[in-house]
Amino acid sequence: MGVDPGLTRCGIGVVDGTVGRPLTMVDVSVVRTPADLDLARRLLRLENALDEAVRTHRPEILAVERVFSQHNVSTVMGTAQASGIAMLVAARHGLAVRLHTPSEVKAAVTGSGRADKAQVTLMVTRLLRLAQAPKPADAADALALAICQIWRGAAQDRLAAAVAAQAGRSAR
- Binding site, annotated residues for Mg(2+): 4, 65, 138
Active site residue 60: no
Per the annotation, the verdict on 116 as an active-site residue is no
Q: Which of 4, 16, 52, 60 is catalytic?
A: 4
The single residue of 27, 51, 65, 157 carrying the catalytic annotation is: 65
Could you list the residues known to form a binding site, using ranges. 4, 65, 138
CA distance 7 to 20: 35
4 a catalytic residue: yes
Assess contact for 17 and 36: CB atoms under 8 A: no
Cα–Cα–Cα angle for 157, 14, 17, nearest 5°? 60
- CA angle (5, 121, 72) in 5-degree steps: 40
Angle at 6 between CA 65 and CA 55, to 5 degrees: 75
Tell me which of 27, 51, 138, 141 is the catalytic residue. Answer: 138
CB environment 117-133: b (16+ within 10 A), e (fewer)? eeebbbbbbebbeeeee
30 three-class SS:
strand
State the catalytic residues. Answer: 4, 65, 138
